[in-house]
Amino acid sequence: MFMYRLYRRRKQKKKRLSTQGKLLAKIAKEIELPKKKCIFADEIQILLRMKKIALLIVLAAMTLGATAQDCCSKAKNETKKDCCSKSNETKQCKTMKALVTYFSASGVTRNAANELAGIIGADLFEITPEKLYTDADLNWRDKKSRSTLEMNDKTSRPALKDGGKVKNLAQYDVVYVGFPIWWYTAPTIINTFLEANDFTGKTIVPFATSGGSSIDQACKDLKAAYPKYKFGDGKLLNRINKADIEKWAATVK
């Protein structure tokens, strides 16, 4: 019985080896080995391994290429952070997530903010006063109007609805802050907003609408008031030009 089992096992092994041999010979034919009279199994295995390695190298190159393309290609509505400046540091290639925040007393900055958010593919957040501004509040000719009083007192911090806190602020890299120009600068309610949230590690990008004044003084004042924060170049959005906005947004780091 034992001898019979031994005989059977040897027969099966022989059969297995001949099947493997046939398989290897078939593969060797497929990969067009140099015509040799005798091909040893070891050689075939080495060549097979080389073919596998070559295949892996091609696959790796293709994957890297695809990643680099994804990272470098200017996908619509996406701003890339220092993309590909250092291709070996993946963190440099992450997408910048943007939030467009705005305060608007009479609707002009709201429209600009909506346009901006649509063009750059950002989320929107309205900076809403606890007490809305009436027409009388906005009368700049009235020395006693709410806006005049607020703008004459640089320490004024008009209250915001729900404290002006942005939920999930942590997910954003860039925060656009829009406002109407009041007396050549940003309304003090923007100070309330900037002090209600922590913008550490983010880039604040001011934008504004006005009756003609530039945004320069507002940017200067905000940078001076919050030196701990990083500011991007501000832009006046009295006229919306998609190409212009895309170009500007692309410079934000």
Ligand X SMILES: Cc1cc2nc3c(=O)[nH]c(=O)nc-3n(C[C@H](O)[C@H](O)[C@H](O)COP(=O)(O)O)c2cc1C
Where do contacts with ligand X occur on this chain (CB under 6 A)?
104-110, 138, 140, 147, 180-184, 209-213
Compare residues 79 and 210 and give the one whose CB is closer to ligand X: 210
Compare residues 101 and 104 and give the one whose CB is closer to ligand X: 104
Residue 49 CA to residue 44 CA, distance in Å, equals: 8
Beta carbon of residue 248, minimum distance to ligand X (angstroms, whole number): 19
Beta carbon of residue 186, minimum distance to ligand X (angstroms, whole number): 10
Residue 234 CA to residue 213 CA, distance in Å, equals: 13
Per DSSP, helices labelled H in the chain are 2-30, 41-72, 108-120, 146-152, 188-196, 216-225, 242-250
Compare residues 80 and 150 and give the one whose CB is closer to ligand X: 150
Longest dimension (CA), the chain: 116
CB distance 206 to 236 below 8 Å = no
Beta carbon of residue 240, minimum distance to ligand X (angstroms, whole number): 13
Residue 243 CA to residue 23 CA, distance in Å, equals: 62
Compare residues 183 and 229 and give the one whose CB is closer to ligand X: 183
Beta carbon of residue 232, minimum distance to ligand X (angstroms, whole number): 20
